Amino acid sequence: MKRIGVLTSGGDAPGMNACIRAVVRAADSCGLETMGINRGYHGLINGDVTRLDRRACANIIHQGGTVLGTARSPEFRTREGRARAIEVIKQWGIEGLVLIGGDGTFRGGSVLASEYPVKIVGVPGTIDNDVYGSDFSIGFDTAVNSALQAIDKIRDTALSLERLFFVEVMGHHTGFIALECGIAGGAEELLIPEVPTSIEELCERLRQGFDSGKRSAIVVVAEAEQPGISFRIADEVRDRLGLDSRVVILGHIQRGGSPTARDRVLASKLGMTAVETLVSGRDACMVGEIRGEIACSPLQDTWEKKKQLHPDLKKLGELFSGRKAFPAMTEGR
Ligand code: ATP
């Protein structure tokens, strides 16, 4: 193998640049050339390819977003689109591809690899942390910390004005971001898709909290593929409890910003491992980290298997929102 390509695809995530940099440096140390493919599969189809060397990756490790750009490419879903991408791969002599993105990106890469013999290795890069095969994906830690900073600020005003706030965070169809920033931010309530909560239950617990002397509360809501759902929940709570509230949708500020140290280190480790994996002849897998160790999973696991919340964190979230009484805690009372 003499030349590989690297692309970022799907939603951008802080730490993608650290991963690109590690790919280039690892490839360089193995005597491989790296081609950077701009704007994900869109760039691959259109031949938007540039040589990346160590200099091209200088001073990017601290930058959010992705210097390669990213895109969603409907054309790549078609055989004609992928045929054009294959022509570009042939033209540039690319023998292996490092795909930084989510399960959609890996699925697209697998279809491509079934039509042309290019080796592919995936690296999980998404703030949502919903990719099976890695405890954490690149960008998640930064997104949680960005959301947490916002929650801390909102708590100041919630306390001062004695108000109920609904803070809606991203997470695609999962509650990974909501669970971690809710626990760390001391949220009174967590609404995540993995733990269904009726409006009656929510109102009852909020009522109990306010009856017991609380004057403000923060409810962290996972958008769960219904961005803006917090407005409807806030309206229902007002109608049932007569409680006025404010809704804050954190939105895309969770995607941006300089990556945390944890994301930079994870991204660097996975970028290096992706190149090592290609060089060793393995492919069609995703490199991730499970319990602190590097782990390679079959690429198809990422779209066939569903990643679960960590049970201890889920339990903690339930405990903090007063959802459950644990036997160990109630014994002897
Ligand atoms: P995120 O989690 O941030 O949304 P993702 O990688 O899951 O990231 P998608 O938009 O689902 O994001 O996929 C990225 C791109 O991968 C798509 O725009 C499309 O070009 C390609 N892709 C996804 N699924 C397929 C598929 N079944 N066949 C071919 N290409 C696909």
Q: Tell me if 318 is assigned to some domain.
A: no
The reply to whether 128 belongs to the active site is yes
Does 264 have pLDDT greater than 60? yes
> 23 and 102: one domain?
yes
Q: Tell me if 310 is assigned to some domain.
A: no
Q: Give the atom of ligand 1 at the shortest distance from the alpha carbon of 128.
A: 2
Kindly report the CATH number assigned to the domain that includes residue 250: 3.40.50.460
Mean pLDDT for the chain overall = 95
Residues 163-217 pLDDT 10s: 999 999 999 999 999 999 999 999 999 999 999 999 999 999 999 999 999 999 9
Q: Is 310 left (phi over 0), alpha (psi -120 to 50) or beta?
A: beta
**Number of domains into which the chain is organized:** 2
Q: Can you give the pLDDT at residue 273?
A: 98
Residues 37-85 pLDDT 10s: 999 999 999 999 999 999 999 999 999 999 999 999 999 999 999 999 9
> 34 and 161: one domain?
no
Distance 10 CA to ligand 1 centre (A): 6
Q: Can you give the pLDDT at residue 321?
A: 82
Is the distance from the beta carbon of residue 137 to the nearest atom of ligand 1 less than 6 Å?
no
* DSSP 8-state assignment for residue 60: -
> 181 and 299: one domain?
no
Does 218 have pLDDT greater than 70? yes
Is the distance from the beta carbon of residue 107 to the nearest atom of ligand 1 less than 6 Å?
yes
Q: Tell me if 315 is assigned to some domain.
A: no
Distance 121 CA to ligand 1 centre (A): 15
Q: Give the mean pLDDT of 289-313.
A: 96
Sheet of 189-191, strands arranged across: 189-191, 217-222, 164-169, 245-249
Q: pLDDT tier at 322 (50, 70, 90 boundaries)? A: confident
Residues 221-237 pLDDT 10s: 999 989 999 999 999 99
Q: Tell me if 329 is assigned to some domain.
A: no
Q: Can you give the pLDDT at residue 329?
A: 41
> 13 and 114: one domain?
yes
Helix (H) or strand (E) holding 19: helix 16-29
> 65 and 79: one domain?
yes
Which residues lie closer than 8 Å to 65 by C-beta, 6 or more apart? 12, 14, 16, 17, 256
Q: Whose CA is nearest to atom 21 of ligand 1?
A: 108
> 30 and 103: one domain?
yes
Q: How many whole angstroms separate alpha carbon 214 and alpha carbon 166?
A: 16
Q: Can you give the pLDDT at residue 328?
A: 44
Report how far apart, in Å, the C-alpha atoms of 220 and of each of 21, 44, 166, 242 are.
35, 39, 6, 20
Strand residue runs (E) in 215-329 = 217-222, 245-249, 285-290, 293-298
Q: pLDDT tier at 140 (50, 70, 90 boundaries)? A: very high
Q: pLDDT tier at 330 (50, 70, 90 boundaries)? A: very low
Cα dihedral sign for 277, 283, 289, 292? negative
Residues 91-119 pLDDT 10s: 999 999 999 999 999 999 999 999 999 99
Residue 198 lies in domain: 143-255
Q: Give the mean pLDDT of 127-145.
A: 98
Q: How many whole angstroms separate alpha carbon 140 and alpha carbon 1?
A: 32
> 84 and 157: one domain?
no
Tokens coding 297: 């999973």
Distance 170 CA to ligand 1 centre (A): 18
Helix (H) or strand (E) holding 270: helix 261-279
Q: Can you give the pLDDT at residue 333?
A: 35
CB 65 within 8 A of CB 33: no
Is the distance from the beta carbon of residue 108 to the nearest atom of ligand 1 less than 6 Å?
yes
Q: Can you give the pLDDT at residue 332?
A: 38
Q: Whose CA is nearest to atom 2 of ligand 1?
A: 102
Which residues lie closer than 8 Å to 78 by C-beta, 6 or more apart? none
Q: Can you give the pLDDT at residue 324?
A: 60
Pick the last residue of a domain from 255, 287, 314.
Answer: 255
Single out the catalytic residue among 12, 103, 128, 263: 128
